[in-house]
Chain A
Amino acid sequence: MARNPFRSEAEAYRFLLLTVGYFALIVAAAAIATWLGVVVFVALTAAAAWLWLRSRSDEPVQRTEVSRLSGEDERRILVIANETVGGDELLAILRRKAEGVQTHLLVVCPALNSQLRTWASDEDGARAAAQERLDASLAQLRRDDIEAEGEVGDGDPLQAMEDALRTFGADEIVISTHPEGRSNWLERNVVGVARERFTVPITHVVVDLEANAP
């Protein structure tokens, strides 16, 4: 199966050969009967689309080794959350994890952005919105006597985790999401992929903000 033909001359050459084969079959079929040419065109196009989609989903997950940066008696926890960082469930888990051990907490809010704006590198608005959510979240944590630092991360939560891990070196990751059905991250299997990709324990916390609302 051809990979991205724009990456290298070899891939472009392979793409050309596939194109020659594709049109040769269509022309040969159309020479027998016009309707057969249409059938071959539809079948080959569908097969090419299916192979392309399958090759994308079969790409192996790159495993990232996380370096431990914490001392013997301290624990570093990376929290990835967007709107759910002030949720009761997450705060309860963070309190429990902090019991009896010195804990460094880093909260990362991904700067979620539309695909079009991402392509155009137009992320100022997304970063400003993420910064507002982060400030509100850190204030909420402080009110609950949980000291934490925070930063705005990449729009892709997995990339945001990877970026943070390179400088923070967490002992574990806590991913906070909305419940199933309302969470875009769960739909994209962010938690599952993160478990495959990173070598540290990952805790998934579901925060139901609607249920928590007074």
Chain B
Amino acid sequence: MSAHADTHHGPPIANKSSRMDATVLGMFLFIASEAMLFGAFFTAYFFVRVVNPDAQEWPLPPFHLPVFVAGVNTIVLVTSSFTMHWALQSIKRGNRTGLKAGLVLTLLMGLAFLLTQMLEYARIGFNPSDGAFGTIFFGLTGLHGAHVFIGLCLLSVATIRAFRGHFTPEHHHGVEIPGIYWHFVDVMWIVVYATIYLL
């Protein structure tokens, strides 16, 4: 055999190929922290329900939730995901008008959702200090509302950039990332709405 002892064959000494990518790890940690945050609130919510096993209706009187208004708000939010998807598909095809229209519509529907939620808070007839249910209701929906607000900030930046002509069919990361975030805010709302208002 030939002697090649102790000769290094070039990269990779510090091999990164199957290491967890830093951005992926960051995203997993972010999602894990979000899951724990919402999980803590849902645990408290289900605890409140479990300690009332004989309740004939939920929520217990005198609490009453505006299911219909929240349902319309849910449709608005899910529709905003559709316009977000349309915006991204538009820029992928080079349609700048579609991108701008999609982002503006998403932004407006997100704002409408948040304003409707504020009005709902003002007219709902109870407040966070009215027992455990009130606290959990405002905590969960408020936490989600905070996420919507962050999403709106991200969308605002993307919209301003879109109107300044920043995105192209090849480079649209600045729309893609807020889009992913926006869809997950919507997913969380579906979970919150189904759990608190419907089930």
Contacts and interface: CB of A to CB of B under 8 A. Distances in A.
Given A23-B190, A159-B18, A9 B180 contact: yes
A102 B183 contact: no
A27 B5 CA distance: 68
Contact of B17 (A23, A102, A159): A159
A19 interface: yes
Interface stretch (B8-16, B116-124, B142-150): B8-16
Contact of A167 (B5, B6, B11): B11
A87 interface: no
A98 B1 contact: yes
B11 A9 contact: no
B147 to A, nearest CB: 14
B81 A13 contact: yes
B190 to A, nearest CB: 5
A59 B12 CA distance: 27
Interface residues of B, number: 41
Nearest to A23: B194
A33 to B, nearest CB: 13
B41 interface: no
Interface string B153-196: 00000000000000000000001100110011011001100100
Interface in A1-29: 5-6, 8-10, 12-13, 15-16, 19-20, 23, 26-27
Nearest to B85: A13
A147 interface: yes
Contacts of A8: 176, 180
Given A153-B15, A155-B18, A159-B17, A147 B183 contact: no
Given A147-B3, A151-B9, A23 B191 contact: yes
Interface residues of A, number: 49
B5 A30 contact: no
A111 B13 CA distance: 11
Interface in A115-168: 118-121, 123, 138, 142, 145-149, 151-156, 159-160, 162-164, 167-168
B25 interface: yes
A105 B5 CA distance: 9
Interface string A94-118: 0000100011111000010000001
B2 A163 contact: no
Contacts of B8: 149, 151
Nearest to A168: B9
A5 B183 CA distance: 10
Interface string A25-40: 0110010000001000
Nearest to A16: B183
Closest 8 CB pairs of A and B: A9-B179, A12-B183, A23-B194, A156-B18, A149-B4, A159-B18, A12-B180, A13-B85
Interface of B: 1-13, 15, 17-20, 22, 25, 27-28, 31, 78, 81, 84-85, 88, 175-176, 179-180, 183-184, 186-187, 190-191, 194, 198-199
Given A19-B190, A104-B2, A121-B20, 14 more contacts: A5-B180, A9-B85, A9-B88, A20-B78, A74-B2, A98-B1, A105-B4, A118-B20, A119-B28, A146-B1, A149-B9, A154-B12, A154-B17, A155-B18
Interface of A: 5-6, 8-10, 12-13, 15-16, 19-20, 23, 26-27, 30, 37, 74, 98, 102-106, 111, 118-121, 123, 138, 142, 145-149, 151-156, 159-160, 162-164, 167-168
